[in-house]
Amino acid sequence: METSKPSARVKQHGVWLMAWLVLTLIANAIAAVANLGAVLSPQASPLQAIADITPSWALLVLGLAGVANIVFVIVLFRWKLWGLYGIIGVAVLAFIVNLVVGIDIVRSLTGFLGPAILYFLMKPRLALFESR
């Protein structure tokens, strides 16, 4: 009689965390394309009104931040905890850029809602994420 080994616990992100990661991925892809597009071609950009009053360096930084967040979300799909730290870091960077370009502090603080939701969705599964 052959004894079977107990199966290893399968990591699962869960429905809500998976949905939030996919939403974050899509939102950051749109934001990156819109911000970088506004830098490359302000007249053809859907953000034309914003591009006229926002310095191009800020749009470039925010566009690259969107690209970085895409990478960090992919890292989270691969169970790496540092993806969360990266997303929090990008939120801090976006907060600073928003304040520098003149967005009021209340609207600038709303940029931390996404990382906060992500943390609370990840919290029950934090032990499954690799710290390195």
Of residues 1, 63, 77, 2, the one with CA closest to residue 33: 63
Q: What is the mean pLDDT of residues 59-82?
A: 96
Domain-located, residue 131: no
What is the model's pLDDT at position 3?
A: 52
pLDDT at 76 over 50: yes
The total number of structural domains in the chain stands at 1
Provide the β-strand partners of residue 130: 80
Domain-located, residue 1: no
What is the model's pLDDT at position 132?
A: 77
Domain-located, residue 4: no
What is the model's pLDDT at position 10?
A: 76
pTM, two decimal places? 0.85
Tell me, rounded to whole angstroms, the distance of Cα 1 from its chain centroid: 51
Q: Which domain holds residue 35?
A: 15-126
The pair of three-digit structure tokens given for residue 72, joined into one six-digit string: 């960090």
Domain-located, residue 48: yes
Residue 47's pLDDT band (boundaries 50, 70, 90)? low
The torsion angles phi and psi of 47, rounded to 5 degrees, stand at -100, 30
